[in-house]
Amino acid sequence: MPWIDIGLASDFPQGRGVAVVADGRRLAVFNADGQLYAVDDLCPHRRFPLNDGIVQGSTVRCRTHGSCFKVDTGELVRGPAGRGIGAYAVKLEETRVLVAMPD
């Protein structure tokens, strides 16, 4: 499983999401209380972006129709999406942020 460099830790401010592309896959990266999480950026309901969703604790809520996902597992908590989203391990190496992408 390759680790992909997605930027500096300072690129991911607390309490909001940032869209990145890692290994050709569009991700939303969230800083929730200092912990970084990476999930698929497109909501499975109508494919609106999740990176501008509302972060509440360990969840992100899609602004469009309100589907809510856990940022650590991608699990759907509630809403019309019908399924969860991919979630990817994130680690820090000094000041760099790396995300694990599937082979």
Residues that bind ligand FES (CB under 6 A): 43, 45-46, 48, 62, 64-67, 79-81
Which of 16, 45 has the CB closer to ligand FES? 45
- Rounded Cα distance between 18 and 31, Å, is 9
Whole-number minimum distance, CB 31 to ligand FES, in Å? Answer: 21
Q: In what order do the strands lie in the sheet with 76-78?
A: 54-56, 59-61, 68-70, 76-78
Which of 64, 73 has the CB closer to ligand FES? 64
Whole-number minimum distance, CB 45 to ligand FES, in Å? Answer: 3
Q: Please choose, from the candidates 62, 63, 59, 64, the residue with its C-alpha nearest in 3D space to the C-alpha of residue 74.
A: 59
- Rounded Cα distance between 3 and 97, Å, is 9
Whole-number minimum distance, CB 66 to ligand FES, in Å? Answer: 6
Which of 58, 64 has the CB closer to ligand FES? 64
